Amino acid sequence: MKDLQVKTQMKIFKPVNEVYEAIVDPAKMSNYWFSSGSGRLEPGKTVTLRYDEYDAQLDIKVLECEVNKKIVYLWSATGEETVVMITLKELDINTTLIQVVENGWEKTI
């Protein structure tokens, strides 16, 4: 049964369009998350993300992008294929709430 889910959220004191671009643009993403990405996150694309400090890389399949609102992708960072949904909500002109939900782990308890 694959029903284990992880949720997290945080406020980022940046406009929603800057937060969205920081996630989907590999040049911006490399400033805080992965070392590099093979391309922009866009629906239907498979993008390779690289962690230089761990000498590791993985592919993600982008399922959905809604500008300034949502990014959904499939990956297997832990060996199990899971779906990650990132949603963005503009709280005010300079504050964005980012929520990340990952689904699909095998529940073993």
Are 88 and 69 contacting, i.e. CB atoms less than 8 angstroms apart? Answer: yes
Number of structural domains found in the chain: 1
**What secondary structure does DSSP assign to 56-102, as a single string?**
EEEEEEEEEEETTTEEEEEE-TTSS-EEEEEEEEEEETTEEEEEEEE
CATH of the domain at 78: 3.30.530.20
Query: pLDDT value at position 37?
Result: 92
Show pLDDT as tens, one digit a residue, over the chain (109 residues). Answer: 567 889 999 999 999 999 999 999 999 998 888 889 999 999 999 999 998 988 989 999 999 999 999 999 999 977 789 999 999 999 999 999 999 999 987 766 5
Range of 49's domain? 4-105
- Do the strands 4-12 and 36-37 form a parallel or antiparallel pair, or are they unpaired? unpaired
